[in-house]
C-alpha cells in the first residue's frame, strides 16, 4: 500500500519531468487547466466578467483629456488604428530610456503626455481598464516579445529574478512551482506554468480584474515574501521575462481564472 | 447577469479555499519580537541531525496537528499523508505514509529543518533555517523560523510513527 503510493508518486514525477521538458518547448496557457464552467465563462463575452472592465477601458479610451484630445484622436475609433501585432510584443525597448517598458506603463505615460491628464497610478482600476481594453484588441494574437539585441541583458535579469531569486520565509522562487511542477496538485489546485497571456484577467477569488503585477505579488504573498512595488524595475523585468517565456501563446485578455 | 452570478457561485462553491498558508487567515497571532525564541544551531552530519534541537522531546499528537495546520507545517499542501479527515492532499512531494521505515529520526530531522541541504533546488520550505538567510520576507514573518524548535521536534516525532 505504502510502496504503491510511492511508486505512483514516482510515475507522476517522471511524467511531470517529461512533460516539463515537453512544456519548455511547448508552452501552455492556464486556460488548459480550467474547469469546463470557467472555460465557458471566459469564452462567452456575456458571461466573462472581465468584459465590463474592457468596456470601461473603451470609454476611457474615447474620453476627452485636459488638452482636448482622446486616445481615439490618434488611434482611431475603438483603437482601430492600433496594430494588434505590436501590442503583442510588449514589454518593448523604450527608445527614450533605452530600457524595457510595459504596456500599462506606456499607456500611463500617454495618458499624461498626450492627453494632459493627471497621472494614473500603476495597477489602479483606470490604468487596468485601459490596458485591458488595448490588450483585448489583440486577443487571439500570438505573444511575440523580442528578447534579442538590446533586450538581452534585461531578459537575462528577468530570468534570474524568476528562476533563481528565492524569497520569503518559505524561501521559494517562481520557478520552484511553475517550472518544476505544472500539472501537479498543490493542495487541491493544479499548478499551471504561471503564464501571463491572459492579463489583465478576472480573478474569481478576488471578484475583480487584476493585472499581472498584482498576480505576481499575490504569489509572493503565498510564500510570505515582500513583493516589488508596482511599476518598479524588478516587476518590469519579471513581466518582460514572463511574457517572453509565453511567446507563442495566444493573448486571452480578459481571461477568467480562479 | 443572473446567469453569470449563478455561474460564479457554482465556481466558488466548487473550489476549495487556500493553497498555501497565506491564502487562508492563520489562527496564530504574530508573536511580539520579544516572544521570538532564541535560534538553536544545528549541524548536518552525513545528511542527518542526530540529536533533538534544544534537547527537546517531541509530542507526536501535536506534530500531527502542526503537519495539518496551514499556517505552520502545511505538509498536506504538497504531500499525501495518512490523515483521512483532511480532504485535499497535494502531490508535488512524495507520499509520507511509511516514511519512518525509509529514514531514521536524524535523517527525518534534517529533511524538516532544511531540505535544501539535500537538494538546493527543492520546493520544500526549510522549516528551521536561520532567519538571516531569507530574502525579502513579509513584515509579519521577519526574524522568525517557520516552525519553533518544539514544533520541529513534534513533527519529527509524528513522522516516526509513520512506519
B15 within some domain: no
pLDDT at residue B3 is higher than 60: no
B14 within some domain: no
SS3 call for B21: helix
Range of the domain at A5: 1-258
Instruction: Assess contact for A173 and A162: CB atoms under 8 A.
Output: yes
Q: Nearest CB to A171: which of B21, B87, B134?
A: B134
Instruction: Assess contact for B127 and B152: CB atoms under 8 A.
Output: yes
B33 within some domain: no
Whether residue A35 and residue B80 make contact (CB cut-off 8 A), yes or no, is no
524595475: which residue's cell? A233
Residues in CB range of B36: below 8 A, 6 or more apart: B143, B144
Query: Residue B36: pLDDT band by 50, 70, 90 thresholds?
Result: confident
Apex CA B138: angle with CA A215 and CA B67, to 5°?
Answer: 90
CATH number for the domain harbouring residue B150: 1.10.760.10
Distance (Å, whole) CA A114 – CA A76? 15
For residue A176, the chain B residues in CB contact (below 8 A) are 121-123
pLDDT at residue B31 is higher than 80: no
Mean pLDDT, consecutive 10-residue segments, chain A of 258 residues? Answer: 53 46 68 97 98 98 97 98 98 97 98 98 98 98 98 98 97 97 95 98 97 98 98 98 98 98
Report the number of distinct structural domains present in chain A. Answer: 1
Distance (Å, whole) CA B129 – CA B147? 9
B12 within some domain: no
Query: Residue B147: pLDDT band by 50, 70, 90 thresholds?
Result: very high
Write down the pTM of the prediction: 0.90
For residue A188, the chain B residues in CB contact (below 8 A) are 15-16, 19, 87-88
Q: Nearest CB to B136: which of A8, A188, A226?
A: A226
Distance (Å, whole) CA A121 – CA A137? 22
Report the number of distinct structural domains present in chain B. Answer: 1
Distance (Å, whole) CA B80 – CA B77? 8
Distance (Å, whole) CA B98 – CA B10? 38
For residue A205, the chain B residues in CB contact (below 8 A) are 15
pLDDT at residue B11 is higher than 70: no
The minimum CA-CA distance between B75 and chain A, rounded to whole Å, is 9
Distance (Å, whole) CA A246 – CA A91? 12
CATH number for the domain harbouring residue A249: 1.10.760.10
Q: Report ipTM (2 d.p.).
A: 0.87
Query: Per residue in A76-109, is it b (16+ CB within 10 Å) or e — as a string?
Result: eeebeebebeebbbbbbbeeeeeebbbbbbbbbe
B13 within some domain: no
Apex CA B16: angle with CA B77 and CA B23, to 5°?
Answer: 60
Cβ atoms within 10 A of the Cβ of A15, count?
12
Range of the domain at B73: 42-159
B29 within some domain: no
Instruction: Quote the pLDDT of residue B7.
Output: 39
B143 within some domain: yes
Instruction: Assess contact for B110 and B118: CB atoms under 8 A.
Output: yes
Can you list the alpha helix ranges (DSSP code H) found in chain B?
A: 2-14, 60-68, 105-114, 149-159
Which phi-psi region, left, alpha or beta, contains residue A120 (left: φ > 0; alpha: ψ -120 to 50)? beta
Residues in CB range of A95: below 8 A, 6 or more apart: none
Instruction: Quote the pLDDT of residue B5.
Output: 42
B110 within some domain: yes
pLDDT at residue B12 is higher than 50: no
Pairing mode, if any, of strands A92-93 and A208-210? unpaired
Amino acid at each position: 500500500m505504502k510502496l504503491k503510493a510511492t511508486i505512483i508518486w514516482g510515475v507522476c514525477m517522471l511524467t511531470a519531468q517529461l512533460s516539463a521538458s515537453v512544456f519548455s518547448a511547448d508552452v501552455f496557457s492556464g486556460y488548459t487547466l480550467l474547469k469546463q464552467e470557467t472555460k465557458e465563462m471566459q469564452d462567452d463575452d456575456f458571461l466573462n466578467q472581465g468584459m465590463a472592465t474592457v468596456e470601461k477601458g473603451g470609454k476611457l479610451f474615447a474620453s476627452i483629456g485636459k488638452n482636448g484630445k482622446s486616445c481615439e484622436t490618434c488611434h482611431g475609433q475603438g483603437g482601430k488604428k492600433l496594430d494588434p501585432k505590436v501590442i503583442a510584443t510588449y514589454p518593448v525597448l523604450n527608445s527614450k530610456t533605452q530600457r524595457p517598458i510595459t504596456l500599462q506603463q506606456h499607456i500611463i505615460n500617454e495618458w499624461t503626455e498626450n492627453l494632459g491628464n493627471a497621472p494614473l497610478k500603476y495597477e489602479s482600476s483606470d490604468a487596468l481598464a485601459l490596458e485591458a481594453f488595448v490588450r483585448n484588441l489583440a486577443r487571439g494574437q500570438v505573444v511575440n516579445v523580442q528578447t534579442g539585441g538590446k533586450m538581452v541583458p534585461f531578459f537575462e535579469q528577468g530570468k534570474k529574478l524568476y528562476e533563481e531569486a528565492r524569497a520569503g520565509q518559505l524561501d521559494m522562487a517562481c520557478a520552484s512551482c511553475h517550472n518544476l511542477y505544472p500539472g501537479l496538485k498543490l493542495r487541491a489546485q493544479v499548478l499551471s506554468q504561471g503564464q501571463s497571456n491572459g492579463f489583465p484577467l478576472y480573478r474569481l477569488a478576488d471578484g475583480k480584474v487584476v493585472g499581472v503585477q498584482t498576480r505576481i505579488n499575490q504569489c509572493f504573498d503565498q510564500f510570505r515574501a515582500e513583493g516589488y512595488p508596482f511599476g518598479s524595475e524588478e516587476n518590469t523585468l519579471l513581466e518582460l521575462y514572463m511574457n517572453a517565456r509565453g511567446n507563442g501563446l495566444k493573448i486571452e485578455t480578459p481571461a477568467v481564472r480562479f | 447577469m443572473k446567469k453569470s452570478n449563478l455561474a460564479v457561485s457554482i465556481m466558488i462553491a466548487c473550489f476549495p479555499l487556500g493553497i498555501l498558508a497565506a491564502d487562508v487567515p492563520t489562527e496564530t497571532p504574530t508573536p511580539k519580537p520579544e516572544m521570538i525564541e532564541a535560534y538553536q544551531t544545528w549541524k548536518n552530519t552525513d545528511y542527518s541531525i542526530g540529536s533533538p534541537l534544544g534537547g527537546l522531546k517531541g509530542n507526536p499528537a501535536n506534530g500531527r496537528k502542526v503537519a495539518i495546520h496551514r499556517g505552520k507545517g502545511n505538509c498536506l499542501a504538497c504531500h499525501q499523508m495518512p490523515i483521512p479527515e483532511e480532504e485535499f492532499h497535494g502531490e508535488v512531494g512524495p507520499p509520507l505514509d511509511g516514511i519512518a521505515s525509509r529514514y531514521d529520526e536524524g535523517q527525518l530531522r534534517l529533511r524538516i529543518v532544511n531540505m535544501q541541504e539535500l537538494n538546493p533546488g527543492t520546493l520544500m520550505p526549510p522549516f528551521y533555517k536561520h532567519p538571516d538567510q531569507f530574502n525579502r520576507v513579509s513584515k509579519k514573518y521577519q526574524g522568525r523560523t517557520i516552525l519553533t524548535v518544539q514544533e520541529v521536534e513534534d513533527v519529527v516525532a509524528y513522522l516516526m510513527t509513520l512506519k
